[in-house]
Structure 1
Amino acid sequence: MLHTGKNFFDNEEVFENYWRLRGRGLSANAVLEEPVIDELIGSVAGLNLLDLGCGNGQYGATLLERGAKSLYGVDAAEKMLEAAQERLKGTGSILVQGTFEEIELPAEKFDLALSRLALHYVEDLGPVFAKVQHSLVSGGRFLFSVEHPLLTSSVAQETSGPRGSLVIDDYFHSGPREAEWLGGRVQKFHHTLEEYFLALQGAGFDVEMLRESKPKRELFPTEEEYLRRARIPLFLFLFGRKR
Structure 2
Amino acid sequence: MSAIRFDDVWKEYDSHIVLERITLDVAPRAFIALVGPSGCGKTTFLRMLLGEESPTRGTISVDGKPLRPEPDADRGVVFQRYSVFPHLTVLQNVLLGRELQRAPLTGRLFGAARRAATEEARALLAEVGLAGHEAKYPASLSGGMQQRLALAQAVMRRPKILLLDEPFGALDPGIRADIHVLMKRLWNETELTVLMVTHDLSEAFRLATRVIAFERNRDRPEERERYGATISRDLEIYPRRVADLRPLSTFRSGRDDPAAQGA
Q: TM-score interval w.r.t. the shorter chain?
A: 0.3 to 0.5
Pair member with larger Rg: 2
Calculate the TM-score normalised by the size of structure 1.
0.35
Greater RCO (CA < 8 Å, at least 6 residues apart): 2
Richer in strand (by share): 1
